[in-house]
A and B are shown apart, each in its own frame.
Chain A
Amino acid sequence: MASMSSSNLELDLDRPNIEDYLTADSIQEPRGKLRLHDFLDISPTLTEAGGAIVDDSFTRCFKSNPPEPWNWNVYLFPLWCLGVVVRYGILFPVRVLILTLGWIIFLSCYIPVHLLLKGHDKLRKKLERGLVELICSFFVASWTGVVKYHGPRPCTRPKQVFVANHTSMIDFIILEQMTAFAVIMQKHPGWVGLLQSTILESVGCIWFNRSEAKDREIVTRKLREHVEGPDNNPLLIFPEGTCVNNHYTVMFKKGAFELGSTVCPIAIKYNKIFVDAFWNSKKQSFTTHLLQLMTSWAVVCDVWYLEPQNMKPGETPIQFAERVREIISARAGIKMVPWDGYLKYSRPSPKHREHKQQAFAESVLRRLKDK
């Protein structure tokens, strides 16, 4: 995508060295006189390419791993069938009812508050915040979310941002039911977009468009403005920029880490015991995803509010981002991979290939002199 190229370039400048993460098997420095053999033996490069075809850590991040079926047995199969009947026939309608009830309560309180208290901003904001937390609780109840929160609850202080790993849009709902965060999101189409433009506006939201290259500067400015405003809700950012399958974390974008504020990491880990909460946006719409959640037994997850971090002296935003990512990944027990989540939507920049080419050229030229 041509429009991504300039923002990709910015993403690449001072990014950590991918070579440190990839296997160092083929990095054996050949020595001695150059022979024809050295120019014909491309086996290390081919091995890397073959390895990438067979398995690669980037695709692994976005693989849905459904829970193993346990029902292929004469005793368990009827039990599973009964489970299906209960889930689809009893639980699902009850949940839809709960959700509808929640929406009715929410809308009947929200609309009057929004319209009538136009003059009393502080009170209105406080009530709206409470109401958003309420509807999110209803949402979580509608898929029987069993969420365990660890750590001190976030408080509203200026100059702080919250960052979390991203698995699905329900991450936002789970966190929102505890604290009304302001959020930065990709603008979505359909009913989600409608919700974004009406209700989420009241908690304070920033929109961006992934495919807009220029968008990045505008977004950075908006982020900075929000963080500095004392009355604004605490800002929640998902620095991965895309949904990952909760077994890995991809690289954090440095946008959240160069605002000069304290970063409070939040780690979220889903237990796949009943359902896989990863939203594979290429394979499912959000509605299908929600329906899948609503017809499973429960969504179990752990949320850890971790110790706030500040940028250390002499640390670049990228190093800061990686350090926080390490803290979150360690807490959630997931692995780190050195890929940019946006590679889901675009090709890698030529810089990585150039790095390899440079290494090869330098080795040849050096051995030429070594004679």
Chain B
Amino acid sequence: MGSASSTLTQYDIEDVQQHCNNLFSQQEIVSLYKRFCQLDRTAKGFISADEFLSVPEFAMNPLSQRLLKMVDGLNFKDFVIFLSAFSAKASMPQKIEIIFKVYDSDYNGKVTFKDIMEVLRDLSGSYMSDKQIEEVLIKVMQEAGYSKDSSLLLDDFVKILEHPGLKMEVEVPVD
């Protein structure tokens, strides 16, 4: 009935733990495995987009489509590695990297003006016009020393977001 902790051996747990750089305890990895099996209803070894979207809290998140691109089809090990950025023990650069990846939808290592605009569109929906978003974005970028044609790299993101830092932590419930 969905509980599959019997198929995760101690060796598997340690392997996964190593891959996520010990950001999760062994108990947390067991909990995550139970959750993974719960979401992966047809026991394929990965969670499909549809199964992620069956979690209403996730489906109604404005960035769900972007995150789906990053988590769709991940096996358990990669699933844990993805979530390790949300661990309280994860470093600031690691969290900033995930944010960068959300913006960098074409994975070319550069975030352009257009990329940021698209994320802002997702976040504001139909409540801000494209013109409004563009205006505001140009202004704040100029103030930060970037022009409309600049591309931001991961280092730029780190520079901007490092101070005062950000809080992005999710607690894994351990029975």
A residues with a Cβ closer than 8 A to B are: 22, 34-43, 45-59, 63-64, 66, 280, 282-283, 339, 343, 347-348, 352-354, 356-358, 360-362, 364-365, 368
> Which B residues are in CB contact (< 8 Å) with A43?
95, 99, 166-168
- A352 near B99: Cβ-Cβ < 8 Å: no
Total A-B pairs, Cβ < 8 A: 153
> Which A residues are in CB contact (< 8 Å) with B32?
54
> Which B residues are in CB contact (< 8 Å) with A53?
35, 52, 55, 58, 71, 83
Secondary structure at chain A's binding surface: helix, strand, loop or mixed? helix
Contacts A42-B119, A56-B58 supplied; 6 other A-B pairs, CB < 8 Å: A40-B99, A47-B167, A53-B55, A282-B41, A283-B1, A348-B59
The contact of A50 among B1, B53, B127, B168, by CB within 8 Å, is B168
> Which A residues are in CB contact (< 8 Å) with B123?
42, 45, 357, 360
A88 to B132, CA, bound (A): 70
- B168 near A34: Cβ-Cβ < 8 Å: no
B residues with a Cβ closer than 8 A to A are: 1-3, 32, 35, 38-39, 41, 52-53, 55-64, 67, 71, 83, 86, 95, 98-99, 102-103, 116, 119-120, 123-128, 132, 136-137, 139-141, 143-144, 146, 157, 160-161, 166-173
> Which A residues are in CB contact (< 8 Å) with B132?
365
> Which A residues are in CB contact (< 8 Å) with B160?
36-37, 40
> Which B residues are in CB contact (< 8 Å) with A57?
57
The contact of B125 among A34, A36, A361, by CB within 8 Å, is A361
- B161 near A41: Cβ-Cβ < 8 Å: yes
Closest to A42 in B: B99
The contact of A280 among B1, B53, B56, B103, by CB within 8 Å, is B1
- A54 near B146: Cβ-Cβ < 8 Å: no
Using A63-B2, A357-B124 as known contacts, say yes or no to A42 and B38 having CB atoms under 8 A apart: no
> Which A residues are in CB contact (< 8 Å) with B38?
59, 63
Closest to A352 in B: B60
- B144 near A54: Cβ-Cβ < 8 Å: no
Using A45-B62, A45-B63, A50-B86 as known contacts, say yes or no to A357 and B125 having CB atoms under 8 A apart: yes
> Which A residues are in CB contact (< 8 Å) with B52?
53
